[in-house]
Structure 1
Amino acid sequence: MLRLRCKAKNGTHMMQGLTLQSCVEELKSKVEELTGIPCDVQKIMVGFPPSSLDLRSGDSLQDYPIKSGDTLIVEEEKNKPRPQAKAAVPRAGAPPAKPHLEPGPTLARRVVPADNSCLFTSVFYAIEGGVYDPACAPEMRGLIAQIVASDPASYSEAVLGKSNEEYCAWIRRDDTWGGAIEVSILSKFYRCEICVVDTQTVRVDRFGEDAGYRKRVLLIYDGIHYDPLQREAPGSHAPPQTIFPAADDIILAQALELADEARRKRQFTDVNRFALRCMVCQTGLVGQAEAREHAKETGHTNFGEV
Structure 2
Amino acid sequence: MLRLRCKARNGTHLMQGLTHQSCVQELKNKVEELTGIPCDVQKIMVGYPPSSLDLSSGGSLKDYPIKSGDTLIVEEERSKPESHAKEAVTKDRAPTGPRLESAPVLARRVVPADNSCLFTSVFYVVEGGVYDPACAPEMRGLIAQIVASDPASYSEAVLGKSNEDYCAWIRRDDTWGGAIEVSILSKFYQCEICVVDTQTVRVDRFGEDAGYHKRVLLIYDGIHYDPLQRETPGSDSPPQTIFSTADDIILSQALELADEARRKRQFTDVNRFALRCMVCQTGLVGQAEAREHAKETGHTNLGEV
**Quick one: distance in 1 between partners of 2:295 and 2:93?**
67
**Quick one: distance in 2 between partners of 1:299 and 1:245?**
43
Deviations 1:56-76 (A, max 9, x none): xxxxxxxxxxxxxxxxxxxxx
Displaced runs of 4 or more, over 6 A: 79-83
* Alignment partner, residue 165 of structure 2: 166
**Quick one: distance in 1 between partners of 2:92 and 2:115?**
51
Q: CA deviation at 1:274?
A: 1.4
Deviations 1:91-116 (A, max 9, x none): xxxxxxxxx98520100000000011
Q: CA deviation at 1:84?
A: 5.3
* Alignment partner, residue 105 of structure 1: 104
Letter in 2 for 1:218: L
Deviates more, 1:212-221 or 1:268-277: 268-277
Q: CA deviation at 1:282?
A: 4.5
* Alignment partner, residue 138 of structure 1: 137
Letter in 1 for 2:193: I
* Alignment partner, residue 192 of structure 1: 191
**For residues 223-238 of structure 1, what are the structure 2 equivalents within 5 Å?**
223-238=222-237
CA 1:83–1:281 in 2, change beyond 3 Å: closer, same or farther? closer
CA 1:84–1:292 in 2, change beyond 3 Å: closer, same or farther? closer
Q: CA deviation at 1:278?
A: 2.8
Deviations 1:230-257 (A, max 9, x none): 0000011111110101110000000000
SS in 1 for 2:133: coil
**Quick one: distance in 2 between partners of 1:174 and 1:279?**
19
Letter in 1 for 2:181: E
Q: CA deviation at 1:275?
A: 2.5
**For residues 74-223 of structure 1, what are the structure 2 equivalents within 5 Å?**
102-223=101-222
Q: Please list every run of 5 or more consecutive structure 2 residues that lacks an aligned counterpart in the other structure.
A: 1-90
TM-score (norm 2): 0.66
Higher relative contact order (CA 8 A, sep 6+): 2
SS in 1 for 2:167: helix
CA contact (8 A) 2:275 2:303 kept: yes
CA contact (8 A) 1:176 1:302 kept: no
Letter in 2 for 1:184: S
**Quick one: distance in 2 between partners of 1:83 and 1:120?**
41
CA contact (8 A) 2:102 2:234 kept: no
SS in 2 for 1:162: coil
* Alignment partner, residue 258 of structure 2: 259
**Quick one: distance in 2 between partners of 1:101 and 1:236?**
8
Equivalenced residue count is 214
Larger Cα-atom Rg: 1
Q: CA deviation at 1:298?
A: 0.8
Q: CA deviation at 1:288?
A: 1.1
| Aligned alpha-carbon RMSD (Å) | 2.1
Q: Please list every run of 5 or more consecutive structure 1 residues that lacks an aligned counterpart in the other structure.
A: 1-78, 86-99
TM-score (norm 1): 0.66
Q: CA deviation at 1:283?
A: 3.6
Q: CA deviation at 1:299?
A: 1.7
**Quick one: distance in 1 between partners of 2:94 and 2:109?**
35
CA 1:223–1:82 in 2, change beyond 3 Å: closer, same or farther? closer
Letter in 2 for 1:200: Q
Q: CA deviation at 1:83?
A: 9.2
Letter in 1 for 2:139: M
Which structure features the higher share of helix residues? Answer: 2
**Quick one: distance in 2 between partners of 1:158 and 1:257?**
36
Deviations 1:103-162 (A, max 9, x none): 201000000000110000000011111111111000000000000000000000000000
Q: CA deviation at 1:82?
A: 6.2
SS in 2 for 1:135: helix
Letter in 1 for 2:227: P
CA 1:205–1:81 in 2, change beyond 3 Å: closer, same or farther? closer
* Alignment partner, residue 90 of structure 1: none
Letter in 1 for 2:286: G
CA contact (8 A) 2:101 2:235 kept: no
* Alignment partner, residue 246 of structure 1: 245
